Structure 1
Amino acid sequence: MLLLQPLPCPDAQALFERLAHVAHRHPLVAERAWQRLSAGARARGEAALAVDALVQCFALLEPRGRGAELTTALRAALMDAAGLPLQAARVHEALGRIAYQQAEYQQAGMHWREALRGAEACGNAQLRVAAEIGLAQIHYAHGDWAAGLHAHESAARHADAADSYLQAKLALNLGVGHFELGDLPAAERQFSHGLAAARRGLHREFEAEAHWHLAETALARKDLHWAVADCRLVMGLAARHGYPWLEAAASRTWTDIALARGDTQAAILSARHALALAQRIQARTQASRAHRQLAQLLQQEGDLAGALEQLWQHVALQEELARLG
């Protein structure tokens, strides 16, 4: 997980590092500790520590599909961070991620631009790279893969100052751009770089995500053996550590693998699982893709009523996404 740098005092830095270590084995314990720390610091008037502890708690919850639970608290933290440009920028970066997951791309862009301005004013390279990655992802969300890749390459120029968490995140996003533009060798190189950075920093969510992207790449090369191996690995990691967004994404890939193997029923079960996970975490884009995938599968099976129902759900979500975007 992302560990904030710098923090208000050496004691806070040491405490956050200990809690980050605890979070690897006992995330619920770390979550409660960060929330208590934030509430206590706020009560004492230590605004910087209170905001940073809340943002650190968000970094723990986000890959588990629970980041949106802190939306109200993060918005209140913006008020607490008045006069604290670094803390305000960190809150904007977190709110940008929540908005992005919910496909509210205009809101995400606004928050990430504020985060970038704050990062540049404070000279915080870590936060600058995080905000630049977010802004580049908005291009991806609109299907402009070339612009998104170019923006990620621009962010990579500052990546030497970033930690292993952001290096992993950046490499995976660079790989996505190459993949969508059809350059599979370049995509695999970046996914492998992301996997190495994730393992180096013990960032399980990015280790699992790297395996998902490698599964997608293997499937694109029609190498079912490696596609199955990587997809099974990522689904196991995502389920075990509680990463619903990633489990939903990998389930869609497993649907494609099942179809490539001629197992339509397994494909339908996997697509329904992906839809349920996406709906649970309010990931509208993922849910829309799952509805479309299910509509196609049910049509192939002759269930026209079921296919039409899924298609209408897909269309409704697409209209909602257009309004939000």
Structure 2
Amino acid sequence: MKPPHPPTADPCSDRLAVALARLHRVAARHPAAAERQLLALEAALRAQGHTAAALDTLAQRFRLLERSGRALALRETLQAAARQAEAAALPAQAAQMAEALGRIAYQQGLYLEATEQWSRALDRAEAAGAWREGVAARIGLGQIHYAMGAWTTGLRFHRDALARLGPQGDSYLAAKVALNIGVGHFETGQLEDAERHFAHGLAAARRGSHREFEAEAHWHLARAALARGQLPWATADCRLALGLAARLGHHWLEAAASRTWTEIALARGDEAGAVRSTLHGLALAERIQSRPQQSQAHRQLAQLLEKQGDLQGALAHLWRHVELQAEVERQTPSGPTTLYAAPEPGEAPEAHPRTLNPSAR
């Protein structure tokens, strides 16, 4: 199995590709062992003077930690690595570091920083001819537009990423872009298109054994089924998403799916279960320091407690939601920049409602 982002521009790249592919397989069952081996490999490569290969290995270690909500621990390491890549004139590796830093910032709701990092990643990827990093950066920039409620523009970035992915057969990126395109369709009320892309994402995730995207696909399919009023399907898919996310230690996804489970519980008349699910999601969001997810959980809890007659508790959660939402909005681009695609001919500019992207993928 090929690793999500094969190493580039290093004389030992062929041997490294084999080693990283093996560790990618190990990580599926023994993530802690894979993490230790990646760290040891990275240190050995640095000692041998193979800077580019060491940075490629760090990028894979980031992806492993990201799945379990521990990517934030690598922030300073990635920042130092980004400076090293720039100093060594390694644009492909600089793009990988910037793309990873953008994902950490996005998870925390630091959208200005995420925009800057993904813009830098795109610039470096274009300079290096690193198509994988370029595709990943475009996906990220599309997510920034989603965070601003600019769904059509975000979809344009994601379709561009899909076109550049082409027939390369990279299952990791194919799953990621399909799920993001599906989110754009879902948020604009195009359920049939959304479900088709979620299914494509699920197929690509299974093809490459990317369990985190398999779990995310089930979560999105649950949301689509719930929107259609298909409660049994929504329940089955959400249960699959929660189970996979818990086994992976994927806290971001488990928190997101917990909010959907809250909606399912309410549809079934289980208010106590809805509260438990939302509290669980809030605890996970706090663990990974995700402001957007915390804000959404507090809003859900305010609504639930108000419905139960606990007005004091509801007000406390509502104020916390407002505080977190304000923090997120301060970190959201507020005006047009050269990063943002202009409306196509005949298309009206989109509104800017400040809604949050439900998917951080």
Scaled to the shorter chain, the TM-score interval is over 0.9
2:79 to 72, 75, 81: 75
- Closer, same or farther: CA 281–264 of 1 in aligned 2, 3 Å: same
CA contact (8 A) 1:97 1:134 kept: yes
1:2: how far off? 5.3
The structure 1 residue matched to 2:235, chosen from 216, 228, 231, is: 228
- Whole-angstrom CA distance in 2 between matches of 1:2 and 1:95: 19
**Equivalence for 1:297:** 304
Deviates further, 192-201 or 106-115? 106-115
CA distance in 1, matches of 2:215, 2:237: 9
- C-alpha distance in 2, partners of 1:63/1:6? 20
Structure 1 residue 235 displacement after superposition: 0.6
Instruction: Check whether the contact 2:186–2:194 (CA below 8 A) recurs between aligned residues.
Output: yes
CA contact (8 A) 2:7 2:53 kept: no
Q: Which residue of 1 aligns with 2:221?
A: 214
* Aligned counterparts of 1:44 and 1:11: Cα–Cα separation in 2: 14
Structure 1: where are the runs of 5+ without partners? none
Number of the residue aligned with 2:207: 200
Per-residue Cα deviation, 1:75-96 (whole angstroms, up to 9, x for no partner): 1112221211111111011101
- Alpha-carbon offset, residue 300 of structure 1: 0.5
What do residues 194-249 of structure 1 show as CA deviations (whole Å, max 9, x unaligned)?
Answer: 00000000000000000000000000000001001101111111111111111111
1:231-270 matches, within 5 Å, as 231-270=238-277
1:154 corresponds to 2:160: yes
Find out whether 1:174 has 2:163 as its counterpart: no
Give the conservation status (yes or no) of the 8 Å contact 1:168–1:197.
yes
Deviation string for 1:140-187 (max 9, x for gaps)?
Answer: 111111111122112111122361000000000000000000010000
- Give the total of aligned pairs: 325
Distance 1:21 1:226 in 2: 31
Tell me which residue corresponds to 1:280.
Answer: 287
8 Å Cα contact 1:125-1:162 kept in structure 2? no
In 1: Cα distance, 2:146 partner to 2:133 partner: 20
Maintained 8 Å contact 2:4/2:171: no
The question of whether the paired residues in 2 share the 8 Å contact of 1:271 and 1:294 is answered with yes
Q: Residue 136 of structure 1 is aligned with which of 136, 142, 145?
A: 142
In structure 2, how many angstroms separate the alpha carbons of the residues matched to 1:278 and 1:116?
A: 29
Runs of 4+ in 1 over 3 A off after TM superposition: none
Single out whichever of 4-13 and 230-239 deviates more from structure 2: 4-13
Q: Which has the higher contact order (CA 8 A, sep 6+)?
A: 2
Displacement of 1:63 in angstroms is 1.8
Partner of 1:60: 64
- Distance in 2 (alpha carbons) for counterparts of 1:178 and 1:257: 21
- Cα deviation for residue 257 of structure 1 reads 0.6
Match of 2:327 in 1: 320
Task: Judge conservation of contact 2:255–2:285 (CA < 8 Å) in 1.
Answer: yes
In terms of mean alpha carbon deviation, does 187-196 or 235-244 score higher? Answer: 235-244
Gapped regions of structure 2 (runs ≥ 5): 333-361
Q: What's the counterpart of residue 124 of structure 1?
A: 130
Report the CA distance between 1:5 and its aligned residue: 2.1
| Structure 2 contact 282–298 (Cα < 8 Å) conserved | yes
Amino acid aligned to 2:271 = T
1:100 is matched with: 106
Instruction: Please give the secondary structure, in 2, of the residue aligned with 1:157.
Output: helix
* Deviation per residue, 1:122-155 (Å, 9 max, x gap): 1121111101000000001111111111221121
Instruction: Decide which of 54, 61, 72 is 1:50's aligned counterpart.
Output: 54
Q: Which of these residues, 18, 31, 36, is aligned with residue 22 of structure 2?
A: 18
Q: Deviation of residue 309 (structure 1)?
A: 0.7
Distance in 1 separating the partners of 2:4 and 2:180: 20
Letter of the 2:159 partner, please give it. E
8 Å Cα contact 2:3/2:21 also seen in 1: no
**In the alignment, what sits opposite 1:5?**
6
Give the letter for the 2:135 counterpart: V
Q: Give RMSD over aligned pairs.
A: 1.2
Query: Distance in 2 between the 1:2 and 1:11 partners?
Result: 13
Q: 2:43 aligns with which of 33, 39, 62?
A: 39
